[in-house]
Structure formats: structure tokens, C-alpha cells
Amino acid sequence: MRIKGLVWLGIAAGDYATAVQFFTQTLGLEVAFEEAGTVELSAENDDRIQLFGPGHRYFEFYRSRGAGMVALFEVANLDQALTIATREKAIPVQILSSPGRASAGSRYLIWPRDLNNVRR
């Protein structure tokens, strides 16, 4: 399986203020949007990291399912990625097609499947 990129990473940050400060001031990521309890940050290549703080619905959603992070990967060959994930008995994955900023026909693999309502 060839991963073309990590397009989006959602992180449930227990110390939200410190996490925001680290990603913006230390790493220099730009704020793409901010709402109460969440901020989405953008790298120069437009990859995104979204932080969720305590009290935000996705923070609670992730934590209640034992996840601290959810990754959205773009894969070169979706069928191959699904075959490998099935064969290796990997954590089930969810397929997303053409998120808003993606080019037509792009395919994405999000892990794990039981968090599939997070990024639509």
C-alpha cells in the first residue's frame, strides 16, 4: 500500500490551550478556522490538523471510544489498501471520496471505521 499523504489528523487534546500553543507558535501552523473548543490548523501544503478540547462533542466522541487521534490518509490505490487491511486483519477502515478540498476522483482512507462520522 502506498500512502500519498496524511490529509487530516484529528486530535482530542486534554490540555487544549497548550496543544494550540504548541502547534501554532512552536510548529508555526496557520489557523484555518476556529470555533468554541476546536481549531483546525493548516500546513503549507494545506494538510490539516484539527484539535478538539474537553467539552467539544468530538473530544468526547473520540475519548468515549478509546481514541486520541483519527487520521485521514490519501492512498494511491484504494482497492489495494482495502485488500491489505482485510488480509492483515488491521483495524477496519472507512472510505471517504472527494472531501471538499480534494480534486475530483480522489480517494481517502480514514482509520478507524468506528469513528466514521467524524469527517464527512
Regions of the chain short of the pLDDT cut 50: 97-105, 113, 115-120
Would you say residue 38 lies in a domain? yes
Name the 3-class secondary structure at 81.
Answer: helix
Would you say residue 83 lies in a domain? yes
d(CA 115, CA 40): 18
Would you say residue 70 lies in a domain? yes
Q: Tally Cβ neighbours within 10 Å of residue 105.
A: 7
CATH number of the domain to which 62 belongs: 3.30.720.120
Amino acid 18: pLDDT: 97
Per-residue model confidence as pLDDT tens digits over 84-98 = 777 766 556 665 544
Would you say residue 17 lies in a domain? yes
Amino acid 92: pLDDT: 61
Would you say residue 34 lies in a domain? yes
How many structural domains is the chain composed of? 1
Amino acid 107: pLDDT: 54
Closest by CA position to 23, among listed 36, 10, 35:
10
Amino acid 116: pLDDT: 40
Whole domain around residue 42: which residue ranges? 3-115
Amino acid 91: pLDDT: 57
Would you say residue 120 lies in a domain? no
CA 31 and chain centroid, separation:
16
Would you say residue 25 lies in a domain? yes
